[in-house]
Structure 1
Amino acid sequence: MFTFKINEYITEGENIIALEMWKPADGEYSIGFVDWNPLPPDRNMGVFRDVILEINGGLKIRSPFVHAKVNKKSLDAAELTIQAELENNTDKPINGVLKVNFELGILEKEVNMKAGETLSCTFTPDEFKQLKVENVGLWWPHDLGEPKLYNLDVQFVSGNDIMDKIQKRYGIREVTSYIDDDKNRGFEVNGKFILIKGGGWVDDLLLQDTKKSVKAQLAYVKHMNLNTIRLEGFWGKDDVIYDLCDEEGILIMIGWSCEWEWEEYLLKPVHPKYGGPVNKDDVNLIADYWSDQILWLRMHPSVFVWMMGSDKLPIPELEQKYIDLFKKYDSSRPYVTSAGGVGSDQNVIGEAELVSEISGITGMKMLGPYAYTPPVYWFTDTNFGGAYGFNTETCPGPNISPLASLKKMLPSENLWPIDKEYWEYHCGRNAFQTLDRYTTAMDARYGKSSGVEEFAFKSQIMNYELMRPMFESFVAHKPKSTGLIQWMLNSAWPEMYWQLYDSYLQPNGAFYAVRNAGNAVHAIYRYGKDDIYLANNHLADASNLTVKIKLYDINSKEIHAGEWKGDIAGNTSKLVYKLPELEVLTDVWFIDLRVYDEQSSEVDNNFYWLSMKKDVLDYEAGSKLEWAYYTPSKEYADFSALSRLPKVKLSYDYKFEKDSERGKISLIVKNPSESIAFFVFFDVVDAETGEPILPIFWDDNYISLLPGEERSYNAYYFLADFNDKAQVKLKAWNVEQELLK
C-alpha cells in the first residue's frame, strides 16, 4: 500500500493527481488467477482499491489492533492488549495523549514523538487493569457461537486539538494451532477444536465485485454451513469482505498465491523449493508487501491464520523477515509456512520436501485430488487427500452449472453435442482444461445423455453425489481430520470447474450437498465401510437422539430398517450403526437416514443412492503426481437402473410472502405414488422472463421423497433482485419439469 505526502503540491482551487499505469511485466509480483480461469489481457492493470485523501494535523494513527488472551475455562473473560502505529509527518516534535475507548473501558497514555518519527504505542493489561475484562461476549465462528463485536475509538490529542482519530471494530477471541501425533495441524478458537470447513474464494475476473455481490456470496457461505473462506492472495478491492466476515462469523485463511511460485504463472525462473522471491531485492519487496497486509488486516477477528506460502516455502531469509514482522505487529494468530507439505515425504506437488529450516513441518497437506473422484475415495484413502489432517485445497472434480447458466455461458449452437472448443474454454487451465474424465465417469455410471438438458441434470446428480462424501468424511473422522478447503468456492467468471455456485450466483448440486453435510446434527453413511456415523457439529451436547435407518431397493420396497438411540457429545462424531450384509439387493438401492431429537422432531435427513457394482480405484495407474491431481478408476459404479424408476406425479401447495427486503416461499410437496421421487430440484424463476431469481436460499434442495411422503420446504430471496412476480419450477429424475401454478 502506498502513501504519498502531497502537502507541497496542493494549491488553492482545483487540484488533480495523475497516476501513470502499465500492466505488470513478466516476473513482477502482482495479482493472478493461476490455473483457475483465463488471464485478463491487461493482467488487472490499474488501481482497484480506494484512493483516499487524508487530512490530519500532521500525526497519523494507523492500524489499531486489539489482541485477546481468553479465559478458556469461563469463556467470558479475557486480557486485552491494544496497539496502534503513530506517524509524525511533520518536521517538529509532537507531544500529546493517545486516548482509547474500547467500549469496555477508557485508556490514556502520554506520547512524545520526535520529528518524522514512527512508533508503536501499546496498552497492556499489566499497565492498565481496565484491560482485564470480565462478563464479555467472545467472537466465535458462526457454527460455534455468536461473533460478538465491540467498538474501538482511538484519538490523539495535543493541547486542545484532536490531531487524528480512527474508529474500528474488534472481536475478543483467541486462535491457537497444534500439531498432532500424526504431524497434522489443527486449530482451536477460544480453546475449542474447530473443524475448518471452507472453500477457496476468488474475486471477479476484472476485480469489480460489489458490496451486494460479496454480501450475497458470504450469505451463501453461511447457508452451506461452511465456516471458512481461503484467500490465496489478498483479495478484496476494499474492506467489505473482511468486515462482513467479522460480522457473520466466517473465518478467513489468507496468504500469498502460488501465482508467484511457478514459472508458468510468474513468467520468470523460480526455485524448485522456494518459488519466485529468492534474490535480495525480491525478498525485501515481498517482506514489505507482507508488512502492509498485516497492518491492514490484523484488526479483523475473522482472519485466523497467515499463510506465508501456498505450494512452496518462503526462502529462509524471507521466512525470518516474516517471523520478525509477526513479533512486531501480530503475535495473536498462528502462521504457517505453506499450504502443503504434511509428512514431507508425501510432497507430490512440488519437487522438494516442504520442511522449513526455521519452523519445521507445516502440518498442512496439498495432495489433491482436483478432478473426478468417486465417493469411496474420501473414506478409505490414507495417503493422499482423504479424511485425515488438513487438506488445504481439494475437490472431486468439475462442478457444471444448471442448464440456465449453461445457456448464458455458451452459444446455443455449441450447447450440444458438447463442443470442446467452447466448453473447455470455460474450464480451468492446463491439466484442468478438459471435462473428459468427468464425462467418461458420468456416461459409465449414469448412461450417455441424449441432450444438454439431460446432461445438465445428470451433472447436478454427479455434483451432489461426489461432493457430499468429501465433506462428510472429514466431519465423520474429526478430530483426526482437522480441515478441508473445497477448491474452489466460487468462480471469477462463467465456468465449469471448481465452484459451489457460479459467477451468476446460481448454486449447483454440490452447494446443497455441502449444506446437508454440515447440518448441526448429521447422520452419515461411510462409503467403503458400510456403517453409519453420527456427527454433532455444535459445541453443546445433544441428548436423547434417535437415528432411523431404512434401506430400499430400486422398486422402492423397504428391505431393512434399523434404529439407534443415545447421546452425543458436542463437536464429536461416532459410529452408531453397522449395516447388515443383505443377500437380496437390486442393482441400485437406497439408504434413508433420519435423526430425531428428544421431542421426536426431525433434525436431519440424508438420502443416498448406491450401486451393487462398486467404484474401484486403480492404485496401480498413474504416478504419485497424477494421483495428486485426479483419482484413476479401475471400475465405475452402475446407476443405469435408475432409469427404471416409474414416472411420478407430485402434488404440492405453496405460497409467497414478503417483507421490506425479502420474499419467502413456503412449499409443501407430496409424493402420492408408491415409488421414490428421486432427486427433486426446486427453482424460483421470474414469471416474465423465466430466468432464475438469484441469489436463492432453499433450506434444502435436490431432495428425494419416499412413497407417500409429504415434506415442507422454505426459501427466501431478495426483493431487489427481481420484478416481484416469481414462480416455482420443479423437476426430478423421474418427475417431468413443471411450473407450479
Structure 2
Amino acid sequence: MKTIRLYLPILLLLLFISSLCHAQDRYELNTDWYCQPIDDTQADGHALSNPSYPLTGWMPATVPGTVLTTLLNNGKVPDPFYGMNNEKIKDIYDTGREYYTYWFVKEFEESATDGEQVWLNFRGINYSADIFLNGQKVNQTPFKGMYLRKQYNITKLLAKNGKNRLAVLVHPADHVGNPNGGQGGDGTIAKGVALQYTAGWDWIQPVRDRNTGIWDKVFIEKTGTVNLKHPHIVTLVPGTRIPGASQEPATLKVSAELQNVLDHSISGTLQYTLAGKTISQKVTLKPQETAEVALPDFTLQNPKLWWPNGYGEQHLYAIDLQFTADGAVSDREKITFGVREIQTTWNSHTRSKEIAVNGQKIFIKGGNWIISDAMLRFSKARYDAEIRFHRDMNLNLIRIWGGALPERPEFYEACDRYGMLVIQDFWMSGDCNGRWLDPKKKDDQWTRRQYPDDHGLFIESAADVVKMLRNHPSLAMWCGGNEITPPADILKALKEDVLPKLDGTRWFIDYSNSDEMSYNFKGGNGDGPYGIQDISTFWAEKTWPFNSEVGSVGTGDATSLKRFLPEENQVIPVEMDGTEKVRDEVWSYHKYIDYGNALEPYGSPEDMEDFAAKAQLVNYNQYRGLIEGFTAHMWDWYTGVIIWKTQNPWTSLRGQMYDYYLDPNASLYGLRNGSEVLHGMYDPVKGNIMIANNTFDQQHDIMLRVTAYDMQGNDQQLTQVFCYLEPTSIRLIMSLQERIKALSADEGMFLSVQLLNTDQKILSDNFYWLPDANGNYSGLQRMEKANIQATATQSAPGEVSLKLTNPSGNTVSFFNRISLVDTESGERLLPTFFSDNYVSLTPGEEKVVTVSYADLDKNSAAIEIGGWNTPLQTITIE
C-alpha cells in the first residue's frame, strides 16, 4: 500500500506530461503518397483505403502539390516552363475532367489513448474531394472549394493496430474553361471558387490541369476533449507613435473558438501569458458545443511596435494560448503577432485614401503579386526569398491580385518579418466576372456578373480565409476583387457580416481600382499603363492619386533567358527594321512585352546577349523613374502607387524584378535605388534636384552633393549644400537644368546625386546617365575600358564583403552586374541578395557591396563582375 502511495504522484505527473505532449502533437503528411488516375482504378474508396489493398504500379505523388506537379516529377510530362513544352501537355478542356481526376493514397501510423482526439486537417484541395480512411468514408458532406479548409475528427476511424490508410479522390474544377487566349480563357473558370489565371492570362499560358490536386498542407493534430480553434488577436494602439521611443500602453483583445467533443459539459480555463502576466477566463462548454470565448482585455505596457519596412522595426510577440481542464492542457495554439494599428483617412487634397500605421501616415510604395509558383509548388524558403527581394526594393506594401488565391500563412509570416503591408484581394476579376464586353467569353456580361455559381461557398470560403490570416500584422486591407466588386449579395455579406464579425480592424476596399481608393478623374479602368514609357511621363503627367496598377517591362539578362529559351530561340526577339514586330514564337509564347525603340539610343543590339544587356539599362531607368516620379509628388498628387507587377509565377517576359528562378534583373536595383528612405533625385523634365524624406523624423544638416562626370571621367561639382527636411516630405532644392543641358549636349554625361550626414557617410547614392542633345547615348557607345580592382572576403556565415575600386586614372566604370557563381558549373547561385547591384564607380571611387547566400559554406563559390565598359572578371572569395 505504501508503494502505491509513493508511485501515485509520479503516475499522475507522467499522465499530465503525456497529456501535455499529446496536446502539442501536430505533423504533416507530406511524404510517401501514391496516386493513380481514376480511369486506371477499379476499386472504390472503401477498398482503396483498406491497408490490405495492394497499390501495385501506383505512382509516387507530390503532396502538397498538383496532378501536373506529380506528373512532372515522375517524368510523365516535360517542364511546362521551358520553351514551347506547355503545348506538349494535354489540356483538361480537351481531355475532359476525368483525365486529371486522381486517387491519392497515404499510409500513416497513429492511435489514440483515452481522452485523446485525432484530427485530419486539409488546408486546401482543388477542387472537390471524397475522403476515405481504413475502409470508411470520412466526409459525409461534400468537400468542395479550393480555398476552404476542412478538419475531420478521425479518432473513431483509426485502426486498432495503429496502421492507417488514407485515400482521397480529387476532382478538378466543375468548369475548367476553354483556354482560348482570353484573360481567364472563356471566363467559365470563374464559375467556381478557385484560381482564374489557370485558363491563361496576358502573362501566362494555360495551366493544363487547372491546378487540380491536394495543393496545400495535410496534417494530423492531436488534442484532448476540447479543441482550440481560430484564435484571434486584435491590438489597439491609440495616438501617434514614434518608432523606437518609449511607448504609451497598447491593448490586446484575445479570443478563440473552443469545441467540446464530449456528450457532457466540461469546464476549464482559457489562458495565455505575456510580459510576465497570465490572462485567463474560466469556461464551461455544453455537450458538443463550439463557442467563441473572449479573454479579458490586456494592457501591454511600453509595447514594442510593428512598423512597415523603412519606418521602424518589425517586432513580433508570441503567446501560447491554452485550454486546460482537470489540470491538463487539452489543446494549445502558439500565435505570433505584431502590436500595431492600421488607420485610413480620405486625403481631400489628393482625392485618395491615405494609410497610416500607429498614427503615422505612410506613403505607399507597393508591388502587385500574382502567386509564387503557377504549379503551386510553395515553400517557406521561396516565400522568404521573394518577400526579402521586396524588402530590398524598399517597398512597403504588396497587393495580392484577385485572379489568384488567398496567400498562404507562410507568405504572411515572411511579410511580418520584412515589414510588408498586404492588400489581400478576394478571388474576383473584371475580366472573368463581367466588367467588360469580351468576345472571348462564353457567357454574356449579365451571366458572368453572377459568377461564381455557388455564392454560399464563396462567402463560407471568405470567412475561413479571414480566420486563417487575420492575426498577421502585415495584413492591412481586404479587397472585394480585382477591378470589379463581387455580386451584390456577396459584397453585402463581406461588408456587413464576415469582416465586421471576424475581423473589423482593417479597411475593406470594394474593388482594386475603386473611386473609394483613388478618385478616377481620367476615366477608363482607373489603372495602368502597363508598358514602357518615356521617363518624363512619370514626373510630368498626373495619373490616379493612388494607382493600384502601373508598370513597365522586365526582361532578364542573357543568363536568365537561357534558362528557358531553347538555343535556336536565343535571338533578338523583334525585327530591327523599325516595325519592332515580334518574330520569335517562343518569346511571343512567353508573353514578351515590347521595348519599342527604347534600346536604339544605346546602339542597335547585335545579338540576344547585347539585346538583354541593353534591356537592363532600360529596366533600371524605367523603375527608378517610375518610383521617383510618384515620390516627387507625394501628398500633392499621390498618396501611393502599386507597381504592376514585381514577379512572375512562370517564365514570363514582362513586368518583373526577378525571374521565376529568383535571379534579379536591373529593375530590382533601379527600384531599390529610387525607393530609398532618404533619397536625392533628379527631375529629367524640369532639371530640378529634389530630396525625399520617408522617415518620421526631421532631418537636419543633410549634405546634398551633385557632381557631373563626362565620358572621360572628368568631374565637375555642381553644388554642395546642407539641407533641412520635414518628416515624410519631398523638398525641391534647386534647378540645374541649364547647366546639365549644356554639359550633356555633345555626348551625354553622368550625374551623381548624393546625400551625406555630418560624419560624411553616404546616405543616398544615385547615379544617372543622361543622353546627348539628340536623345542618344553617343558617349556611352565610345567609352574607354575601365578595369576595376576587386577583392571578396567571407565576412560572416553566408555573407561576402565585395570591395570594388576604380583607379583614379580610369573613366567611369559603368553599370557592373555582380553575380555569385558556382566555380564547378559556372552557374549562378540563387537566390543571392546584394546590398547593391548594377553599380557604377567614378574614378578613384571605392564601394563595398554585401553579397548574401544562405548555403555559401556548402558550395564552391566565386564572384563574377563585369559591366558596360568593364571586362568580366572572376573574384576568388577569401
TM tier, smaller: 0.7 to 0.9
Instruction: Give 2:338's match in structure 1, choosing from 160, 164, 171.
Output: 171
1:415 paired with 2:551, answer no
Contact 2:554/2:667 (CA < 8 Å) preserved in 1? yes
Partner of 1:711: 846
Instruction: Give 2:400's match in structure 1, choosing from 225, 231, 238.
Output: 231
1:373 paired with 2:537, answer no
Name the count of aligned residue pairs: 680
Contact 1:76/1:138 (CA < 8 Å) preserved in 2? no
Shift of 1:232: 1.9
Write the letter of the residue equivalent to 1:46.
G
Write the letter of the residue equivalent to 1:348.
G
Q: Distance in 2 between matches of 1:476 and 1:603?
A: 18
Partner of 2:614: 458
Q: Distance in 2 between matches of 1:383 and 1:150?
A: 40
Structure 1 residues 665 and 599: alpha-carbon distance in aligned structure 2, compared to 1, 3 A threshold = closer
Contact 1:295/1:329 (CA < 8 Å) preserved in 2? yes
Q: Distance in 1 between matches of 2:290 and 2:586?
A: 55
Give the secondary structure class of the aligned counterpart of 1:327.
helix
Worse-matched range after superposition: 24-33 or 141-150: 24-33
Contact 1:341/1:347 (CA < 8 Å) preserved in 2? no
RMSD of aligned Cα (Å): 2.6
Structure 1 residues 474 and 383: alpha-carbon distance in aligned structure 2, compared to 1, 3 A threshold = closer
Structure 1 residues 498 and 726: alpha-carbon distance in aligned structure 2, compared to 1, 3 A threshold = same
1:207 paired with 2:376, answer yes
Worse-matched range after superposition: 149-158 or 575-584: 575-584
Write the letter of the residue equivalent to 2:684.
Y
Q: Deviations over 1:41-93 (max 9, x none)?
A: 11111112111223323422212122122132464421221121223344433
Q: Distance in 1 between matches of 2:164 and 2:193?
A: 32
1:693 paired with 2:865, answer no
Give the secondary structure class of the aligned counterpart of 1:514.
helix
Shift of 1:444: 3.5
Give the secondary structure class of the aligned counterpart of 2:168.
coil
Q: Distance in 2 between matches of 1:76 and 1:701?
A: 41
Q: Deviations over 1:107-134 (max 9, x none)?
A: 2222233333333222353xxxxx1222
Structure 1 residues 572 and 561: alpha-carbon distance in aligned structure 2, compared to 1, 3 A threshold = same
Q: Deviations over 1:388-434 (max 9, x none)?
A: x22222212x211111111111111210243521112222xxxxxx4
Q: Distance in 2 between matches of 1:262 and 1:235?
A: 15
Structure 1 residues 162 and 179: alpha-carbon distance in aligned structure 2, compared to 1, 3 A threshold = same
1:644 paired with 2:782, answer yes
Instruction: Give 1:550's match in structure 2, choosing from 681, 699, 707.
Output: 707
Instruction: Give 2:758's match in structure 1, choosing from 579, 598, 610.
Output: 598
Q: Distance in 2 between matches of 1:736 and 1:561?
A: 31
Structure 1 residues 157 and 41: alpha-carbon distance in aligned structure 2, compared to 1, 3 A threshold = same
Worse-matched range after superposition: 41-50 or 475-484: 475-484
Structure 1 residues 59 and 266: alpha-carbon distance in aligned structure 2, compared to 1, 3 A threshold = farther
Give the secondary structure class of the aligned counterpart of 1:18.
strand
- Aligned ranges 1:254-403 → 2 under 5 Å: 254-259=424-429, 261-262=431-432, 269=443, 271=445, 276-277=449-450, 282-323=454-495, 324-342=497-515, 343-344=519-520, 346-349=522-525, 366-384=526-544, 389-396=545-552, 398-403=553-558
- Aligned ranges 1:120-199 → 2 under 5 Å: 120-125=292-297, 131-181=298-348, 182-199=350-367
Instruction: Give 1:527's match in structure 2, choosing from 678, 684, 708.
Output: 684
Worse-matched range after superposition: 506-515 or 441-450: 441-450
Instruction: Give 2:291's match in structure 1, choosing from 116, 119, 123.
Output: 119
Q: Distance in 1 between matches of 2:439 and 2:266?
A: 48
Shift of 1:383: 3.6
Structure 1 residues 265 and 599: alpha-carbon distance in aligned structure 2, compared to 1, 3 A threshold = farther
Q: Distance in 2 between matches of 1:157 and 1:594?
A: 60
Q: Distance in 2 between matches of 1:114 and 1:152?
A: 27
Partner of 1:576: 733
Q: Distance in 2 between matches of 1:316 and 1:719?
A: 49
Give the secondary structure class of the aligned counterpart of 2:597.
helix
Give the secondary structure class of the aligned counterpart of 2:463.
helix
Structure 1 residues 662 and 24: alpha-carbon distance in aligned structure 2, compared to 1, 3 A threshold = same
Shift of 1:449: 0.5
Q: TM-score, normalised by structure 2?
A: 0.73
Shift of 1:719: 5.0
Structure 1 residues 722 and 457: alpha-carbon distance in aligned structure 2, compared to 1, 3 A threshold = farther
Write the letter of the residue equivalent to 2:786.
K
Instruction: Give 1:4's match in structure 2, choosing from 141, 152, 163.
Output: 152
Contact 1:86/1:118 (CA < 8 Å) preserved in 2? yes
Shift of 1:451: 1.0
Partner of 1:630: none
Q: Which structure has the larger Rg?
A: 2
Contact 1:266/1:276 (CA < 8 Å) preserved in 2? no
Contact 2:749/2:769 (CA < 8 Å) preserved in 1? yes
Instruction: Give 2:389's match in structure 1, choosing from 220, 238, 246.
Output: 220
Instruction: Give 1:246's match in structure 2, choosing from 403, 406, 416.
Output: 416
Structure 1 residues 411 and 602: alpha-carbon distance in aligned structure 2, compared to 1, 3 A threshold = same
Q: Distance in 2 between matches of 1:720 and 1:729?
A: 17
Instruction: Give 2:746's match in structure 1, choosing from 576, 586, 597.
Output: 586
Q: Distance in 1 between matches of 2:155 and 2:440?
A: 37
Write the letter of the residue equivalent to 1:44.
N
Q: TM-score, normalised by structure 1?
A: 0.86
1:539 paired with 2:696, answer yes
Write the letter of the residue equivalent to 2:206.
L
Contact 1:50/1:237 (CA < 8 Å) preserved in 2? no
Contact 2:707/2:715 (CA < 8 Å) preserved in 1? yes
Partner of 1:626: none
Shift of 1:312: 0.6
Q: Distance in 1 between matches of 2:841 and 2:799?
A: 26
Contact 2:749/2:779 (CA < 8 Å) preserved in 1? no
Structure 1 residues 383 and 665: alpha-carbon distance in aligned structure 2, compared to 1, 3 A threshold = closer
Give the secondary structure class of the aligned counterpart of 1:590.
strand
Q: Deviations over 1:583-630 (max 9, x none)?
A: 63325233211111111222211111223558xxxxxxxxxxxxxxxx
- What are the ranges of 5 or more consecutive residues in structure 2 without an aligned counterpart? 1-148, 176-190, 242-246, 574-582
Q: Distance in 2 between matches of 1:573 and 1:652?
A: 37
Shift of 1:658: 5.0
Structure 1 residues 420 and 90: alpha-carbon distance in aligned structure 2, compared to 1, 3 A threshold = farther
Worse-matched range after superposition: 533-542 or 666-675: 666-675
Structure 1 residues 30 and 338: alpha-carbon distance in aligned structure 2, compared to 1, 3 A threshold = same
- What are the ranges of 5 or more consecutive residues in structure 1 without an aligned counterpart? 126-130, 350-365, 428-433, 615-636
Write the letter of the residue equivalent to 1:322.
L
Contact 2:355/2:362 (CA < 8 Å) preserved in 1? yes
Instruction: Give 1:97's match in structure 2, choosing from 269, 280, 285.
Output: 269
Write the letter of the residue equivalent to 2:468.
W
Partner of 1:15: 164
Shift of 1:501: 0.7
Shift of 1:268: 5.8
Q: Distance in 2 between matches of 1:316 and 1:575?
A: 47
Structure 1 residues 124 and 677: alpha-carbon distance in aligned structure 2, compared to 1, 3 A threshold = same
